[in-house]
Amino acid sequence: MSEEMNQVEVRNFEVGDTVRGIVTKVEEKQVIVEVSESKLDGIIPISELSSLHIEKASDVVAEGDALDLQVLKVEEEALILSKRKVDAEKAWDQLVEKFDKGEIFEAEIKDVVKGGLVVDLGVRGFVPASLVESHFVEDFSDYKGRTLTFKIVELDKEKNRIILSHRAVLEEEKGKQKKQLLSSLKAGQVLEGTVQRITDFGAFVDIGGIDGLVHISQLSYQHVEKPSDVVEEGQKVQVKVLSVDQDNERISLSIKETLPGPWTNIAEKAPKGAVLDGQIKRIVSYGAFVEVFPGVEGLVHISQISHKHIGSPHEVLSDGEKIKVKVLDVNEADQRLSLSIKELEENVTEEIAYELPEESKGFQLGDMIGDQLKNLKK
């Protein structure tokens, strides 16, 4: 085509026109295309290939690619074209729709920059560091090239500003999982969980994306002073679901109820006739309750406290006192344990009662002799 004809063809185009071009040559800093239906050459500077900074034109296009382009400038024999502007116009329409619908979509991380990540959406999208994950990330260097899911959280076409969030997607998914899990939980279920947080009043346990509270009273059958004495953060535990409050998203859990009860196999641990160490927990009018194992209390009836007659257990026993007891009877089904203190004590009363008849016989003999002498004198 002659130079004069080229100039005529060029005059048929105006700045802003959209044209179709086939890539005929890829140079380092620009791309040559043949504009369809005109046989005109068009030039795409490297800066007009992408919304992102690129080092080589070959990173974006290859010979033979068909591209939609916008005319930036009309020169004497060629058109200066932009792929970036056409991509951006198409992208903005799609992005506005995605933003309005709150749509979740995938995109590749093209670059890691100070303060966050860069994504190519036809226009430049930015992901601030705080919106990448739901946890703190110190180094983002291995994120380049990865594909993540995103939601658009801020969109301003005039300022060419698009803010994306992967964290919002994670939190939305977590919220859905939480609701599904809440609706599936039933009282009585036994699950595995991980201790997440320990407080003065109990421990919060993660049971698969949602935390439930194990109150301090549900940590152990034994008395617990501090939850940290029984569990630690990160510990895997078995928990039983006590109740589920769907409206307030609260779950009550128990570790204690997954453990063997303190009365389990009590007949083996405290057989009839066994002598055990115990501690007095409560004193009542009819006896004393003695703890012989954590969570296991037996009754020493007032009649089994002493060989001597006592009016009240308080006369010989005190709260918290450590004593030895003998098992009189054990009933695991009814969780009852009958104990005795007096059976381990020497029966001083009986010994005295046994000696007295000998002494009394002596006195009776003297009395008899005295009586006989009185009769003889008469």
User: pLDDT value at position 123?
Assistant: 86
Is residue 182 within a helix (H) or strand (E), and if so which, with residue range? helix 167-184
The pLDDT mean for the chain works out to: 86
- With 0-12 / 13-18 / 19 or more C-beta atoms within 10 angstroms meaning exposed / middle / buried, residue 203 is buried
313 in the same domain as 275: yes
CATH of the domain at 57: 2.40.50.140
Structural domain includes residue 113: yes
The pLDDT-based confidence of 41 (bands split at 50, 70, 90) is: confident
Structural domain includes residue 376: no
236 in the same domain as 198: yes
pLDDT of 191 > 50? The answer is yes
DSSP strand E in the chain: where?
A: 18-26, 30-35, 40-45, 66-74, 78-82, 105-113, 116-120, 124-128, 147-156, 161-165, 190-199, 202-206, 211-215, 236-245, 250-254, 275-284, 287-293, 296-301, 322-331, 336-340
| Boundary residue ending a domain (85, 113, 148) | 85
Q: For residue 109, what are its two tokens?
A: 């991380």
Structural domain includes residue 112: yes
Structural domain includes residue 131: yes
Q: Are 326 and 344 in contact, with CB atoms under 8 Å apart?
A: yes
7 in the same domain as 81: yes
Residue-wise pLDDT tens digits, 140-188 = 999 999 999 999 999 998 888 999 999 999 999 888 888 888 888 999 9
Structural domain includes residue 317: yes
Rounded Cα distance between 75 and 68, Å, is 19
270 in the same domain as 220: no
> Would you call 150 helix, strand, or coil by DSSP?
strand
The pLDDT-based confidence of 107 (bands split at 50, 70, 90) is: very high
Structural domain includes residue 245: yes
pLDDT of 361 > 50? The answer is no
| Boundary residue ending a domain (232, 258, 284) | 258
17 in the same domain as 66: yes
The pLDDT-based confidence of 298 (bands split at 50, 70, 90) is: very high
117 in the same domain as 160: yes
User: pLDDT value at position 14?
Assistant: 86
237 in the same domain as 164: no
User: pLDDT value at position 1?
Assistant: 44
pLDDT of 226 > 60? The answer is yes
Structural domain includes residue 160: yes
| Boundary residue ending a domain (258, 280, 297) | 258
* DSSP state letter for 232: -
220 in the same domain as 162: no
- With 0-12 / 13-18 / 19 or more C-beta atoms within 10 angstroms meaning exposed / middle / buried, residue 105 is middle
Share of the chain above pLDDT 70, in %: 89
Structural domain includes residue 91: no
314 in the same domain as 275: yes
Which range is least confidently modeled, 35-39, 255-259, 264-268, 299-303?
35-39
Place of tokens 């919304």: 51
User: pLDDT value at position 367?
Assistant: 52
Contacts of 50 (CB under 8 A, 6+ apart): 60, 83, 84, 87, 120
What is the length of the chain? 378
End-to-end CA gap in the chain: 180
> What is the per-residue burial (b if ≥16 Cβ within 10 Å, else e) of 127-148?
bebebbeeeeeeebeebeeeeb
Domain count, the chain: 4
253 in the same domain as 204: yes
216 in the same domain as 247: yes
User: pLDDT value at position 54?
Assistant: 83
Domain that residue 225 falls in: 186-258
